[in-house]
Structure 1
């Protein structure tokens, strides 16, 4: 644990760095592969909609003594449609069929009770119409649209519209992956799943806002200096928050995994399991997107601004000049010890106007210079010295 803390502190201080922003291509390729699998699963396999969405009848048989195949044969013979049969660890068997009338439900309850050795009165029957599922879907979509609109407005006001776009790209990334996982593995989609998906969108947004807030802090007044490009300042922000993001996600995933174990192992398939699976997949995807997707997208958008292009050109020119001065020894000893050492450390990863590679960790001198510019120190007038009274 102490080693992780030490790594986090070194990342925060800029002593070590990983080029998250500059290596955007590999993250995009990895995400594209996952998204392709998710979209293909949705297109060819589709979602396994629960009875709440497709409509049907649900029979809960406590202490059933029959096998799954026996219950399925009886139900399909009675209804003439496809039947889904599951058994919980408590011994309760759930039989889901196509929509039935009240008379058909009573008749099937008696048939299932006879096969499974349970009185028909002990079998719980729930009939759900397809219109109720359509209403749930409509409400979920309305909630999603309202959520996205509010998110866009908030991020555009608090940060800027480019950050809003980056956050929306990350949210869409997480949403498609989560829904695609359900289609790929045939997991049942229930109202609890819809609640879980909306919840993980909020979690993903929170993680992205934490990173963006650090980006905003690091890039305040960045156009007025020639020490660091926008890409490098954004990459520094990711390095400063990456350990926090991972620790927060792991801490959040532990109780969710416990819910999955309890829901699947002890209680059987149910609302807890449906909600927990959506949360687990969404949290993992949200952590990944906030680190590897949201900030690189933002950096690419900012890179198109004229002032950021001019900044990158100034930084490159300054580093070339410092490297040349260090090599030839033309600069004074003071300049070489101050600017030259810091610029030479950052030279290897220089950032041209159109470059997509961020620099290596900034030297302490560069970080102090950037902090001075951000705090507006260069614009503060010098105070006049006061004469000492005799």
Structure 2
């Protein structure tokens, strides 16, 4: 831990750094590849929408049921006539979801399941969800997402500038696309918990991004008045100075979410935890990645197109080229190139001396001549 703290301190002071901005084309390429994969998965496989969105019936058996998941799935599909989704819960009960059912069909399926399981029909709980309820949830989710995006852009444009607002918006879309694409590829069910998880990760994604932007804003004040660093180099220093902090906050946030996903959903069998935990886990990781590798490099690209920062870059590079040429001259000749200038050149380069007054008119009386 002391080594990590020492590394963070050295990164913050600028003693060591990694050129994130210089390799931004690599990060852009990786993000584009991941995003295309997510979009293809979403287009080919689609999302596994839960009962809450498409309507249907949910049957829950008694605790410690002796029926296996495969047996329950076969019995439910034979009773309903189409596909059923069965999950074994932590208390040993079974959760059977069948889409597109009304009340009469639900009663028939419930009785058929009770007969196949050899239990009393009253021990099987049945809940019906109408498709209109799912449409309302989906519409509210889209409205919440749109309002959130608009507010984020307005706030960042006021607190920082519009270029940072655009970069943060691109990073958010990047994180949402990847998370939704992972859901499509994995095949996890999309429930209201999933929507809550997606909305939650937006805040985490913005947190790391705003931390880097705040550091960048402070370090770029009066940047054009110097000729040591370009805007991209200052942006790279901002990433490095906040890198360990971003990693620490992301790891601390991922640990409990990983417990929900792998222990709660995988080991304990609490399948309902998978809905929100997967979106949180993927979203947190994608948010940390985008704040470092997408948002800040994109701001640097946008700022470097401004005339003042273009001119600054030219001055910085020209000064470095001159310094390199002087150093090469010194190494080859063993003297400072300014010492080899002729005297007249030194006089031109040095301060100009004003000629002494010729004393014209000195001693001459003022006024008209007689």
TM-score, length-scaled by structure 1: 0.82
CA distance in 2, matches of 1:181, 1:221: 43
CA distance in 2, matches of 1:115, 1:97: 17
Query: What is residue 41 of structure 2 aligned with on the other side?
Result: 41
Query: What is residue 147 of structure 1 aligned with on the other side?
Result: 148
- 1:26 Cα offset (Å): 0.8
CA distance in 2, matches of 1:74, 1:247: 49
- Greater Cα shift, 122-131 or 137-146: 122-131
Query: What is residue 18 of structure 1 aligned with on the other side?
Result: 18
Q: How does 1:184-333 map to 2 (within 5 A)?
A: 184-260=185-261, 261-270=263-272, 272-329=273-330, 330=336
- Greater Cα shift, 8-17 or 57-66: 57-66
Deviation per residue, 1:338-377 (Å, 9 max, x gap): xxxxxxxxxxxxxxxxxxxxxxxxxxxxxxxxxxxxxxxx
* 3-state SS, counterpart of residue 59 of structure 1: strand
- 1:2 Cα offset (Å): 1.0
Query: What is residue 31 of structure 1 aligned with on the other side?
Result: 31
- 1:257 Cα offset (Å): 1.2
What's the RMSD between the two structures over aligned residues? 1.5
CA distance in 2, matches of 1:27, 1:253: 22
- Greater Cα shift, 317-326 or 143-152: 317-326
- 1:81 Cα offset (Å): 1.9
CA distance in 1, matches of 2:294, 2:321: 31
- 1:110 Cα offset (Å): 2.0
Query: What is residue 345 of structure 2 aligned with on the other side?
Result: none
Contact 1:72 1:83 in 2 (8 A): yes
- 1:88 Cα offset (Å): 2.2
Q: How does 1:64-143 map to 2 (within 5 A)?
A: 64-143=65-144
CA distance in 2, matches of 1:258, 1:80: 37
CA distance in 2, matches of 1:98, 1:189: 13
- 1:54 Cα offset (Å): 1.1
Q: Aligned in 2, Cα 1:273/1:98: closer, same or farther, shift over 3 Å?
A: closer
- 1:318 Cα offset (Å): 1.1
| Gap runs ≥5 in structure 1 | 334-390
| Gap runs ≥5 in structure 2 | 331-335, 340-370
Contact 2:55 2:101 in 1 (8 A): no
- 1:331 Cα offset (Å): 6.4
Deviation per residue, 1:175-233 (Å, 9 max, x gap): 10000000011111110000000100111011100000011111111011111000000
Q: How does 1:342-381 map to 2 (within 5 A)?
A: none
* 3-state SS, counterpart of residue 293 of structure 1: helix
Contact 2:167 2:296 in 1 (8 A): yes
* 3-state SS, counterpart of residue 21 of structure 1: coil
Deviation per residue, 1:235-271 (Å, 9 max, x gap): 000000011000100011111111221233224211x
Q: Aligned in 2, Cα 1:169/1:187: closer, same or farther, shift over 3 Å?
A: same
Query: What is residue 177 of structure 1 aligned with on the other side?
Result: 178
CA distance in 2, matches of 1:240, 1:191: 38
Contact 1:89 1:265 in 2 (8 A): no
- 1:100 Cα offset (Å): 2.6
Query: What is residue 3 of structure 1 aligned with on the other side?
Result: 3
Contact 1:83 1:95 in 2 (8 A): yes
How many residues matched? 332
CA distance in 2, matches of 1:76, 1:262: 28
Contact 1:61 1:118 in 2 (8 A): no
